[in-house]
Structure 1
């Protein structure tokens, strides 16, 4: 079981470029697993963790409803936003500047073969990070992601999640609002969930800006502990 995880921070990167890069890494792991089974070999499969910040973009998951995007192409163009239908689970999600997006591309055979446990661990990573800022992050029954003030009229989501898994290999991941422009969330029904608000860490802390690199380091600390992983930082970036 290879618990080494290659970490890359891609910086500010177009969604489609990053999606293509994810697909390539994902395919490489799946192909190696298939070859191992065919040849009776046990070559170790790699694991990856990508950090990225995207320009404004809306993505719709396989089970999503396009009517949850509340504006047409013309408005998206005015807002400098793109739209993609993609192959993760979940409904509609927004990504944009001021948001930490994380894509763990893991072979869960190296960790544990339980997709529900995987999602709960991603949520726990966010919850533990929020706790370091004095905030109580929570799960909401039947709604993947991390919320604040669950069970009250003020419930609001701070981190959305949506993943794809095949042969126990994962891709896509989480979107954690740090210094996000919350106005873009008004252009959709987030995750198809009506009448619930969205928030950002800087808003909750009453700050103009929160140090995103600091948040990333906290996330990685908890990721390493939860997954018992060894992180190997790589400076290589996709062009």
Structure 2
């Protein structure tokens, strides 16, 4: 059986509103079969996003402090509560059609967690799930958040992995379920190349989802 093709787009550093427009256009094209399943990878400037289960009370900081720290706020249609995106964090937006054989929302989220767990293992970080919570955790705290939206079985939104993230920004909100957060940098005691982490995410995503990578998807083959 021929494997489905995964197209990877590295968007670099991009503001949240622009990235959201890219997501929506990609969603339309994937839905109508105009391009293959696509994984968007991006680093956002400082932004707090509120999912469908979030309330304004999740934002602990006053508007003046948010402005002083250059933090924007966006309400989104993804699942979950409040989270932070910012510099040093790798955000992945898989835009894939779950039809015909992956039409299971919970299984899709578990697969995203598996991608992240395997990629973290590549850097000798032991990560795991916690029953009843979405995302990926370590003994030092939650290292990756997941929040998705699925319409007509095409996925948008996705995951945020703390790589070199300044974790003090999470103090501005009640993050997800209020659990402590960590980063790859904090766990390993050194900064990492976002490009290198992207490569491992791409490889593990294709592996977990049984897809073939389009040419030039990895840094080593670019």
Greater C-alpha radius of gyration: 1
1:149-205 CA distance string (max 9 Å, x none):
2xxxx5x100000000011100000000000000100000111x23x2111101100
Aligned residue in 2 for 1:65: 55
State yes or no: 1:198 paired with 2:181. Answer: yes
Q: TM-score, normalised by structure 2?
A: 0.92
Aligned residue in 1 for 2:167: 182
Q: CA deviation at 1:234?
A: 6.8
State yes or no: 1:21 paired with 2:6. Answer: no
What SS does the aligned partner of 1:144 have?
A: coil
Gaps in structure 1 of 5+ consecutive residues: 33-42
Distance (whole Å) between structure 2 residues aligned to residue 18 and residue 45 of structure 1:
18
Q: CA deviation at 1:54?
A: 0.3
- 1:149-228 maps to which residues of 2 (within 5 A)? 149=139, 156-191=141-176, 193-194=177-178, 196-207=179-190, 209-228=191-210
Q: How many residues align?
A: 216
Assess, with a 3 A threshold, how the Cα gap between structure 1 residues 120 and 226 changes in structure 2: closer, same or farther: same
Moved over 6 A (4+): none
Q: Is the 8 A contact 2:61 2:173 kept in 1?
A: yes
Q: Is the 8 A contact 1:163 1:170 kept in 2?
A: yes
Q: CA deviation at 1:44?
A: 7.4
Distance (whole Å) between structure 2 residues aligned to residue 45 and residue 11 of structure 1:
21
Q: CA deviation at 1:211?
A: 1.5
Q: CA deviation at 1:120?
A: 0.7
Assess, with a 3 A threshold, how the Cα gap between structure 1 residues 190 and 233 changes in structure 2: closer, same or farther: farther
Aligned Cα root-mean-square deviation (Å): 1.8
Distance (whole Å) between structure 2 residues aligned to residue 204 and residue 120 of structure 1:
23
1:28-62 CA distance string (max 9 Å, x none):
333x2xxxxxxxxxx67631110000000000001
Distance (whole Å) between structure 2 residues aligned to residue 45 and residue 206 of structure 1:
40
Q: Is the 8 A contact 2:163 2:192 kept in 1?
A: yes
Distance (whole Å) between structure 2 residues aligned to residue 84 and residue 44 of structure 1:
29
Q: CA deviation at 1:83?
A: 0.3
Distance (whole Å) between structure 2 residues aligned to residue 147 and residue 161 of structure 1:
11
Q: CA deviation at 1:93?
A: 0.8
Aligned residue in 1 for 2:111: 121
Q: TM-score, normalised by structure 1?
A: 0.85
Assess, with a 3 A threshold, how the Cα gap between structure 1 residues 58 and 231 changes in structure 2: closer, same or farther: same
Gaps in structure 2 of 5+ consecutive residues: 218-222
